[in-house]
Amino acid sequence: MRTSLWTVHQSPICTEVLRIIPFGRIWSVVLSLVILSIFTLMTLTSVNAQQAGTDTPEQLVEKMKQGGYILYIRHAATDHSQADKDLTDLSKCELQRNLSAQGKEETKIMAMALAKLEIKVEKVITSPYCRCVDTAKIAFDRYDIVEDMRATFYTNEAETTHLGDYLKSELTKKPKAGFNTVLVGHTANLRDVTQVWPKPEGVVHVFKPLGEGGYEHLGRITPVEWAPLAGIN
């Protein structure tokens, strides 16, 4: 049994239907997705962030033993009473600033450590400056002099870019399995390309080549750290 209703409704002439956007739910989802993707993007790109490189020397040694890394070695300590006088002919060592006795000593120790830790080196590329050649000679007794490794101190923009490109390509190349590549060079070149300023003289910065993807800076080993690492003296 139903009741018949007899009410007279007073409806306004126009009844509008307001659609209220559920701001809370949908928008917050969208916003969080956006933030998440930005964050992911940043993390991915920061893979090549140059200032990272936080591996400890021990970790670096372990990795180098496996092979597949690039060792960028700044030339060993030099005698700062000497100065680069004339760089037109880089074979003339007497017109350049060369290694000091300390530098030569530290390089020998590094060589011994590398041998003891069985860190294998496929090839050695060096800048033509005498201090770099000497470092390579003492450490590995073999080297390839590459003109494009020369310092970018005195070069103009075009030349600096050219040398930078060369270094960049070297940092992305993978050595053969089980081996590492050594680059002996200067502060300026590494700074131009990777924003890393290798310090002090003789320091080794380790990079992981990623082929087409670039490279990754892992960390560094200073000259004084080799002896304890390898258990020498």
Partner 1 sequence: MLAPVIGILMMSVLAGVFNYQTQEQGKLLTRLQNVDFERAQKLMQLSNHMATNHTQIYELLQTAETVTDEGEFYDEGKRYLYNIFSIETQIEEQIEQGPDSASLSKSEIELFESLLKHISDYRVNTTNAMLMATVDLALAQSVMSNSTKQFNLLNAKFLAFNQSIQQRLNQRLASHQDAVEQKAGLFSGLFVSTIIFVLLLSGILSSVLSRDLQRVIKKLGDLVSSQKKQEGSASSPVNELTTLAIAIEGVRESHASLKQARDNLNKSNQELSKSYATILERESTLEELNAELEIKIVEGKKAEELLLEAKEDAEKANEAKSRFLATMSHEFRTPLNAILGFSEMICSQVFGPLGADKLGAEKYAEYADDIHHSGNHMLLLVNDILDISEIESGRRIITKEAVDIDEIIKDCVRTIRKQVEDKCIELSVELPDEVPFLYADKRSFIQVLLNLLSNAIKFTKQNGSIVISVNSGKEAIEIAVKDTGVGIDPDRLGRVTEPFSQGVKNPYEAQDGTGLGLSIVKSLMETHDGELVISSELGVGTAVTAVFPASGLEERPNVGSFHTPNFTH
Long-range contacts (CB closer than 8 Å, 24 or more residues apart) made by 147-155: 149/125, 149/183, 149/184, 149/185, 149/189, 150/90, 150/186, 151/127, 151/185, 151/186, 151/188, 151/189, 152/186, 152/188, 152/189, 152/192, 153/186, 153/188, 154/87
In the complex, the smallest distance separating the C-beta of residue 24 from partner 1, rounded to whole angstroms, is 35
Question: Of residues 195, 224, 228, 232, which one binds partner 1 by CB under 8 A?
Answer: 195
Query: For residues 5 and 101, which CB has a smaller minimum distance to partner 1 in the complex?
Result: 5
Question: Of residues 89, 118, 141, 157, which one binds partner 1 by CB under 8 A?
Answer: 157
Considering only residues 94 to 133 of the shown chain, the ones binding partner 1 according to CB under 8 A are none
Query: For residues 181 and 189, which CB has a smaller minimum distance to partner 1 in the complex?
Result: 189
Question: Of residues 90, 139, 196, 230, which one binds partner 1 by CB under 8 A?
Answer: 196
SS3 5: coil
- How many binding residues for partner 1 (CB under 8 A)? 28
Tell me how far apart the alpha carbons of residues 98 and 151 are, in angstroms, rounded to a whole number: 14
Window of 54-62, 138-146, 149-157, 208-216 that interacts with partner 1 by CB under 8 A: 149-157
121 in Cβ contact with 182 (< 8 Å): yes
Residue 10 makes contact with partner 1 by CB under 8 A: yes
Number of residues in the chain: 233
Tell me how far apart the alpha carbons of residues 29 and 27 are, in angstroms, rounded to a whole number: 5
Question: Of residues 32, 144, 154, 176, which one binds partner 1 by CB under 8 A?
Answer: 154
Residue 148 makes contact with partner 1 by CB under 8 A: no
Residues that bind partner 1 (CB under 8 A): 1-13, 80, 83-84, 153-154, 156-157, 160, 187-188, 191, 195-197, 199
